Amino acid sequence: MTRASLDKKPADVAAMFDGTAERYDLLNTLMTGGQDRRWRREVVRAVHARPGERILDLAAGTGTSSVPFAEAGADTVACDFSLGMLRVGVRRQAGVHRLSFVAGDALRLPFADASFDAVTISFGLRNVADTVRALSELRRVAKPGGRLLVCEVSHPRNPVLALGHKAHLKYGLPLLARVSSNPDSYRYLAESTLAWPDQAGLSRLIQEAGWTKVRWRDLTFGVAAMHHAVNPG
């Protein structure tokens, strides 16, 4: 498997996720101690998809995060640049109405301007090579007044919790990597998490991309965070 590095070359990142597609959802659960499922439920509530809306779920992988939006009656597009992930998703989510899978690069989204009522990305923004450009692309395809929801790993603000979180990333995940068939995935995800900006830092990047009314809410004491914003049009 290709070893993706923190320069986040698209081909390397895509190849890594292609190689781990079958076990990606399990990988997330192991990395987060099962918290990822609760975080995704919070995302569903925050996006508040409604019948008749069109939702873009970027970096959707196997579409696990996209299904609840479709089940709420929204026409949902699960977009990812890993063809391996998309193939697994198409197979696993067969029969889910109002859900389609589209291959696409976050830096050059294959959608027209103002196509979506809401755009969301969970645990994928830190994998793109240019964060602000990806956020700008999401704003381009969102309708005026459209909603953005980013759920991403973050940094606990309590010093004691922050120290424990860093220890888990530096030492706990490498232990999991030793017994994993995809050790490079664990190492890359741990490194990218440590290098990711904190809650205020990500807010500034979202504002730089042109979004307004930016706010965030911590999940699990700041191990992850949800950032909300609105496209001013």
pLDDT tens for each residue of 154-180? 988 888 877 776 776 776 666 665 655
Is 185 inside any structural domain? no
Mean pLDDT value across residues 201-213:
98
Owning domain of residue 55: 10-155+197-230
Is 182 inside any structural domain? no
Is 76 inside any structural domain? yes
pTM of the model: 0.84
Place of tokens 């890359």: 188
Q: How does strand 116-122 pair with strand 212-219? A: unpaired
Q: Which residues contact 148 (CB under 8 A, 6 or more apart)?
A: 118, 119, 120, 135, 138, 139, 142, 206, 211, 227, 228, 229, 230, 231
The one-letter amino acid at 36 = D
Mean pLDDT value across residues 226-232:
98
7 pLDDT band, cuts 50/70/90, is low
Mean pLDDT value across residues 197-220:
97
How remote is the C-alpha of 152 from its chain's centroid? 6
How many domains in the chain?
1
Please name every residue paired with 75 in a beta bridge, in sequence order, or none if there are none.
Answer: 54
Q: What is the number of helices (H) and of strands (E) in the chain?
A: 10, 7
pLDDT at 10: 66
2 pLDDT band, cuts 50/70/90, is very low
Is 165 inside any structural domain? no
Strands of 224-230's sheet in order across: 99-103, 75-80, 54-58, 116-122, 142-153, 224-230, 212-219
**Spatial separation of the C-alpha atoms in residues 18 and 39, rounded to whole Å:** 24
Is 162 inside any structural domain? no
**Spatial separation of the C-alpha atoms in residues 196 and 152, rounded to whole Å:** 9
CATH value at residue 54: 3.40.50.150
More confident residue, 150 or 179: 150
Is 4 inside any structural domain? no
Mean pLDDT value across residues 226-233:
95
**Spatial separation of the C-alpha atoms in residues 147 and 141, rounded to whole Å:** 11
Mean pLDDT value across residues 17-42:
69
Is 173 inside any structural domain? no
Q: What share of the chain is helix, strand, coil (3-state, %, to 5)?
A: 50, 20, 30
Structure tokens at 44: 């569903």
Is 224 inside any structural domain? yes
**Spatial separation of the C-alpha atoms in residues 11 and 25, rounded to whole Å:** 21
